[in-house]
Structure 1
């Protein structure tokens, strides 16, 4: 009885193998219309795959998007760092260009404009905001040969004079602090030299005021104004600025000329200190001859200019 069941099982297994091989042989052939079991299996698998594939694809896309966002974030961060470095490099380059231009201008001024004077370059190291138009500090002192009343200039023109000196630094009194007694003998250049005294400053319009100009003097805008050197301390020929306008003074005795400074007093970084020994003033207007009138030969003008400059060292 047991042998019968064993043989029956072997027979069923053999028939199953024959059926499987036959089915495989049939399904391996290229057929335009598969059998219904194949269609059933294919459709079932396709339906199951569609249910699983869409969520899996969405999850995979989500994590892929997160990876892309992180990569974009890192690239953006790197680009920002490079942009900051580029901005710093650009700023450094602009500073070097400006410094190069300043040094070139100062070198040209030292070689050409003031060859008769010894110039010593100094750097502005301090400037108080509350005394912006009054004083500044330079990095040269008595050890460098600095002394009070030395003129301080830029390649554009005169800016002031040394007021006090320390061992390693000096305080410069600016030309805009002129109301405190820093009067300057000046000359208006033209067909004839017109003498006067710069003894005022208009902070609202940033203009120097030159007074004691004879009434008959003919002055036009854009005429150049230079130092006269009559005080013996400030050299002659340093550019102060150019005429902007002319008015009659309150007493209607002389004229006042308003001068725009040639030097940019708001941006002072490097300056020149003019070193020279004291030279007695020799270029003094001659006394007027009887019957002859001239803008630079007015009675009392020499006394006024020298009086205003004698007490200030200029």
Structure 2
């Protein structure tokens, strides 16, 4: 069927060509002009359609390319953001270690201090302990003081070959003799306080005549032979009598941030 239509079209085209050739020149010119007037709009429409198709294809390709570039930029921005956060964290860690080392150089125990990294902290409020990455293989033994530049942290308790558990101030296994820096130098015992207040302890067994005021510093007394004298413990918050006024108790806010420790110093004897 298609071949028949094609043959008919070719025959018509050939006949039209012969007719044009047999016509006088003037009449042939007029017929050609009429045919060109008829076909030129159709040819223009076809060209415009092709150009519009080309523009649509280019627009689709441009949009796809823009989306690809946006996704590439988004990933690059996320990578740079993560790198910036890492760089800021490294800068904070370097500054913290620089302060730690600077404090060690000015400490009276600088030749007896060794830095340990905190690897685990007890999440329960009743037992205040943490774990560090030094153990008996490094010379650690139970009962050594643990401190940071701000003040006393606690003492070593359970020592393994490569790790040590530290009992923090406020833990029942870490009782410290401490002195208030007032004219009388009153001495008490650091004991646990409210479990929901990890940055606080109680200084018990103060003389009932002690002149204790809020804000007075508290340091280790040196009594008992475990902790050297003069290590900061904290400062007095308030004081009240207990046991029918037989002695006083003072609440003390700790100097060391025991709830946010990353490195500590172990003091060798």
TM-score range, shorter chain: 0.7 to 0.9
Task: State the match for 2:176 in structure 1.
Answer: 184
- In the alignment, is the contact (CA less than 8 A) between 1:181 and 1:199 conserved in 2? no
User: Which whole-Å deviations, capped at 9, do the CAs of 1:115-168 have from their partners, x for residues lacking one?
Assistant: 366101111122343478522211111121111000111111111110021122
1:228 corresponds in structure 2 to 221
Q: Deviations over 1:155-204 (max 9, x none)?
A: 11111110021122211111131xx2421100111344221111122232
Q: In structure 2, the residue corresponding to 1:201 is in which secondary structure?
A: coil
Corresponding residue number in structure 1 for 2:120: 126
Q: Is the 8 A contact 1:117 1:274 kept in 2?
A: no
Total equivalences in the alignment = 249
Question: What does residue 271 of structure 1 align with?
Answer: 264
Structure 2, unaligned stretches of length 5 or more?
A: 1-17
- Find the structure with the greater CA-based Rg: 1
- Does the 8 A contact of 1:147 with 1:165 survive in 2? yes
Answering whether residue 260 of structure 2 is matched by residue 260 of structure 1, we say no
Q: TM-score, normalised by structure 2?
A: 0.80
Alpha-carbon contact 1:152-1:161 (below 8 Å) kept: yes
- Asked if 1:205 corresponds to 2:205, the answer is no
**SS of alignment partner, residue 170 of structure 2:** helix
1:112 to 89, 102, 106: 106
Q: Is the 8 A contact 1:149 1:234 kept in 2?
A: no
Structural mapping, 1:1-314, within 5 Å: 16=25, 41=36, 45-46=40-41, 49-50=44-45, 52=46, 55-115=49-109, 118-130=112-124, 133-177=127-171, 180-206=172-198, 207-276=200-269
- CA distance in structure 2 between the partners assigned to 1:242 and 1:231 by the alignment: 21
Normalising by structure 1, what TM-score? Answer: 0.69
Gaps of 5+ in 1: 1-8, 24-34, 277-314
Distance 1:128 1:70 in 2: 54
